[in-house]
Chains A and B, each alone.
Chain A
Amino acid sequence: MSDSLLRVELTESGPCERTMSVTVQPEAVKLEREKVIAEIRKEAKVKGFRPGKAPRNLIEKTYAGSIREELLQKVVSKNFQKALEQEKIAPLSQPQVEKVDLEDDYKLSFQARFEVSPEIELARYKKFKIEKKVSKVSDEDVDSTIENLREQYANFVPKDGAADKGDYLLLDFSVLDEKGNTSPEGRRTNQLVMAGHEDSHALFSHALVGKSEGENQKIEIDFPGDYPDESLKGQRVTYMVDIKNVRQKSLPEVDDHFAKQISQTEDLAALRTMIWENLEREINQRADRQVEEDLFRQIIEANPFDIPSSLVEVTIQRQIENIRKQGQAGDEMQMAELIRPSAEFAVKREYVMGEIARREGISVADEDINAKIEEFATQLDKTAEEVRKDFRSREAMNHLRSLILVEKVVRFLLENNDIKQVEE
C-alpha cells in the first residue's frame, strides 16, 4: 500500500477541529481483507474440520460478521494513521470516526473528526506594564503571627472553680426522657467541650459557662422553633451533665524562653526578625505569582486564540481528581463548571508558553538540568547523585524539563516586560 492509494479531504469543522474524509482504494481493502480472513481461518473452529483446516469460502460465510468488523477496524485505524502522515497533522484527541462506509466488500470510506492544536500568532508578548503589589510587613503582622504561635503552643491546665467562656470541660452527659430516666443510647462519656463555643452545639456549650469540677446537675435547653436539627426543633431537652474537670487554656509567655522552645532562634528579638523575614518572603512570593498570572492574562487577552475543548476537559478532570483525592466530594458537573475558567486559562497559558519558547528559541539544555538538580540537592540536603536517582524515569525527567522550561520562559518574560514594584 503506498500513500497514493489514499484520497484525503480535510476540512475545518471548528476552531480547533478538523474533519478528515478518507477514501481507501479497493485494492488496499482487498489485501487487508485477505489478511483478516487468513487470520480468522487459523483459529476458526468449524464442525467437521480441524481448527485451521476449514475451507476459505466456508469461513467467509460463517464468519461474515466478524470479518467485516475486523476489517473495518483495521483498515480505518491503519489508513487514519496513514492519512495523518500524508497530511502532516497531529490530532490532540482521540478521533471520532463516523460515516464508515463499506460497499461491495471493497469500497471503503470514512470520516474522522478530531481536535488539533491552534495556530497561535503572538502579536505581542513584550512590554506589558505589570504592577507588582508588595505590602510592607508591619510590627502588628509579626505580633499577630506570634499570637497565633502562642495559641498553637497553649497548655491546658486544670482549674478550680467555675468555667469561664473559652475553658474546656471534660464531661459525661445523658439525655433524660419525659419521666426523667436516662437511656443508654443518649449517654456520651468523656466529651471535651469548650464552654461558650459558637458551633452547632452553641446552646449546650453556653449552658456550661459557670459550671465547675465535680458538679452533677441537670441542664434544660429549649431549642428554638427555627433550630436547624429537625429532631430537636422546638423541643425542651433535659441533659444530665457530670463534669469531671475544667481546664483553662494557658498561653505561654512571650519571652526568650518561648523563642527558644518553638524555634532555633536564640532570643525573642531573633524570633521576631525571623518571622519578619518569613512574612516578607511570603509576600514577595505571592506578589511574584500574581505578576506572573497578570502577565499571562494580559498576553492572552492581547492575542486571542481558540483552544481545543478536549484539552480543557482533560485539565478539568485532572483537577477534579485532585480534589477528590483530598477527600472532598461534590457534584461533578458543578465542580467542572467552577473549574472551567481556570482550566481554560491554564491551557492557554501552556500554549502561550510553548509558543514563546519556540519563537525565542528557549530550550532546556543539559546544563540547566544539572543546575536544577544541584539546586534541589542543596534544598533537600542530599547529594546531587541522590536527587538524580529520583529523576531516573523518563516521566520524571520530562516533568523536570517542562518545569525548567516554564521557569526560563517566565524569566524571559519578566525581563522583557515592564514590571513596576508598587507598595501598598
Chain B
Amino acid sequence: MKNPYQIVKRPLLTEKSDRLRETDNQYCFEVAVGANKLEVKAAIESLFEVKVSSVRIQNRIGKAKRMGRFTGKRADWKKAIVTLKEGEVIELFEGV
C-alpha cells in the first residue's frame, strides 16, 4: 500500500466542509492527483482509525492567474469527500 501521508495531503476546512461534516458526517480532504477512491479510503482509515462508508472524488482544475501580461495556471488538484460510517468521528476537525 502507498504511504497514506502521500495520498491525503491536507484536510479542507471551509464553510462548506464544515456544513457537510455537521449534517452528513462527511469530511473533505485534498488528496494526491493520482489517488483513487480505494486508496483514499484505505489511507483515511489507517490515518484516523475510522470506518469509511464511501468516498467521492472531484478533479479540481487549477485557476488561471495573470501576472501582468503573463497568464499562468495554478496546479490542478483532487478533492475527496469522505463519508464515515455512522457514529465515527475524526477528532482533528472537532477540536478546531
How big is the B interface, by class?
Answer: under 10
A61 touches B96 (CB 8 A): yes
Report the bound CA distance from A53 to B18 in whole Å.
11
B15 touches A53 (CB 8 A): yes
Does A48 belong to the interface (CB within 8 Å)?
yes
A55 touches B18 (CB 8 A): yes
Q: Give B55 Cβ to nearest chain A Cβ, in Å.
A: 21
Report the bound CA distance from A53 to B19 in whole Å.
11
Report the bound CA distance from A49 to B16 in whole Å.
8
Report the bound CA distance from A1 to B25 in whole Å.
40
Does B12 belong to the interface (CB within 8 Å)?
yes
Q: Which residues of B contact A61 (CB under 8 A)?
A: 95-96
Number of A-B contacts (CB under 8 A): 18
Q: Give B17 Cβ to nearest chain A Cβ, in Å.
A: 8
Q: Give B74 Cβ to nearest chain A Cβ, in Å.
A: 15
Does B14 belong to the interface (CB within 8 Å)?
yes
**Which residues of A, 16-71, contact B by the 8 Å Cβ criterion?**
48-50, 53, 55, 57-58, 61
Count residues of chain A with CB under 8 A from any CB of chain B. 8
B96 touches A48 (CB 8 A): no
**Which residues of A, 306-359, contact B by the 8 Å Cβ criterion?**
none
Does B13 belong to the interface (CB within 8 Å)?
yes
**Which residues of B, 4-59, contact A by the 8 Å Cβ criterion?**
12-15, 17-18
A49 touches B15 (CB 8 A): yes
Report the bound CA distance from A57 to B96 in whole Å.
6
Q: Which residues of B contact A48 (CB under 8 A)?
A: 12-15, 17
Q: Give B28 Cβ to nearest chain A Cβ, in Å.
A: 10
Report the bound CA distance from A49 to B18 in whole Å.
10
When each residue 3-22 of chain A gets 1 if its CB lies under 8 Å from chain B and 0 otherwise, what string results? Answer: 00000000000000000000
Considering only CB atoms, which chain B residue lies closest to A54 in the complex? B15
Report the bound CA distance from A55 to B15 in whole Å.
8
Report the bound CA distance from A58 to B15 in whole Å.
11
Q: Give B51 Cβ to nearest chain A Cβ, in Å.
A: 25
A57 touches B14 (CB 8 A): no
Q: Which residues of A contact B18 (CB under 8 A)?
A: 49, 55
Report the bound CA distance from A61 to B92 in whole Å.
13
Q: Which residues of B contact A53 (CB under 8 A)?
A: 15
B13 touches A57 (CB 8 A): no
**B contact set with A: CB distance below 8 Å:** 12-15, 17-18, 95-96
Other A-B pairs, 11, CB within 8 Å; known A48-B13, A48-B17, A49-B15 = A48-B12, A48-B14, A49-B18, A50-B15, A53-B15, A55-B18, A55-B96, A57-B95, A57-B96, A58-B13, A61-B96
